[in-house]
Amino acid sequence: MPTYDYICDDCGNRYEKFQSMSAEPDTVCPKCGGKVRRLIGSGAGIIFKGHGFYQTDYKKSLKPSDSSSGSTESIDKS
């Protein structure tokens, strides 16, 4: 569920509300009762919360692996 930003046209109160995409947008300011409008935002990146997310989980290896070394040296099996 996304978080939406709202601003009141009367008092300037700006707030965020966590609601489903199918929910009706707010129309009344919780502070003064005036008319509010939903602001268009750029969205947010993925936020990982909780245990189990580490900086090294998806880190690329600094040394090349043996299978991707691209060696063209042939081995004599006589």
Q: Is residue 13 in a domain? A: yes
- pTM > 0.75: yes or no: no
Q: Is residue 50 in a domain? A: no
Q: Is residue 23 in a domain? A: yes
Give whole-number Cα distances, 29 to 6, 45, 53, 59, 65, in Å: 9, 28, 38, 46, 59
Helix (H, G, I), strand (E, B) or coil at 67: helix
Q: Is residue 69 in a domain? A: no
- The total of structural domains in the chain comes to 1
Kindly give the confidence (pLDDT) of every residue in the chain, 78 residues in length, as a single tens digit, with 9 standing for 90 and above.
788 899 999 999 999 998 888 999 999 999 999 999 999 875 666 666 767 666 666 666 666 655 555 555 556 565
What does the alpha-carbon distance between residue 38 and residue 33 come to, in Å, rounded to a whole number? Answer: 15
What does the alpha-carbon distance between residue 2 and residue 21 come to, in Å, rounded to a whole number? Answer: 7
Closest listed residue to residue 29, CA positions, set 41, 37, 19: 37
Q: Is residue 17 in a domain? A: yes
Q: What is the pLDDT of residue 2?
A: 82
